[in-house]
Amino acid sequence: MIAERVAAGLGAGFNRNAGPLLLPLIEALTGPVAGTDALLAPTGRGWVNAFDIDGNAPAWLAQLVGVRPDPTLTPTQQRDIIRSRAAWVTGTYRALLATIRSALTAEKRVVIDERDAGAWHATIRVYESDFAVGTTQQTIRDLAERHRPAGMTFDFVFYPSFSYAEAELTAGTYAEAELTAGTYADVEE
């Protein structure tokens, strides 16, 4: 298809003088871009195939709405996931928070600094003291990855667990603090 369009664009005179090897040469040169050409071809509904959910590449389209393509699913199953209401919240701030909080206990403290280093960047801050049993930093990264829209990048900051016993070793007791500073304002200085 693409080779015929290129040959037609060269004109009848060029084709006539080039001989019978021209079309195989054009096919060899245009073959590597045939897939891209197919994605950019318009459908009967007015969309290019790349953005038509009923086209040939629903997995590619899924990434644009934050759905992780699953190569084990059929194209029909992939289309159903994209169309489902659950997929509409994928990649949103609310869905990202809910997913990460599902692996936390206690306070479930998660802070997401959106657009902190650019329009397509966010920093996710989590307290390790809130980790549920078996949760690791990699668990949090994997959960966030499920809701990462195409083009978005994440940085992670994990605050280490810190107990009152550790605070006492670092800063002393309240009684010791009271001896050295009379008020909270004095302590802050």
Contact (CB, 8 A) for 14 and 8: no
Instruction: Tell me the average pLDDT across 4-10.
Output: 89
Among 87, 119, 134, the domain boundary falls at 87
Instruction: Give pLDDT tens digits for 57-115.
Output: 677 777 776 666 677 878 888 888 777 766 667 667 888 888 899 899 878 999 999 88
Q: What are the helix (H) ranges across 21-155?
A: 22-30, 34-40, 58-64, 75-83, 85-89, 93-101, 137-146
Q: Which domain holds residue 111?
A: 91-159
Instruction: Tell me the average pLDDT across 37-59.
Output: 77
Looking at the predicted structure, is the pLDDT value of residue 154 above 80?
Answer: yes
Q: Please give the structure tokens belonging to residue 142.
A: 């994997």
Report if residue 180 sits inside a domain: no
Q: Specify the pLDDT at position 122.
A: 92
Report if residue 186 sits inside a domain: no
Among 70, 87, 104, the domain boundary falls at 87
- pLDDT over 90, % of the chain: 20
Q: Give the containing element (helix H, strand E) for 187.
A: helix 184-188
Instruction: Give pLDDT tens digits for 119-140.
Output: 899 999 999 989 999 999 999 9
Instruction: Indicate the number of domains in the chain.
Output: 2
Among 65, 87, 109, the domain boundary falls at 87
Cα–Cα distance measured from residue 17 to residue 24, given in angstroms and rounded to the nearest whole number: 15
**Phi-psi label, residue 153: left if phi above 0, alpha if psi -120 to 50, beta otherwise:** beta
Contact (CB, 8 A) for 155 and 123: yes
On whether the pTM is more than 0.85, the answer is: no
Q: Specify the pLDDT at position 16.
A: 86
Q: For the domain that residue 97 is a member of, what is the CATH number?
A: 3.30.300
Three-class DSSP category at 111: strand
Stronger pLDDT, 178 or 3, i.e. the higher one:
3
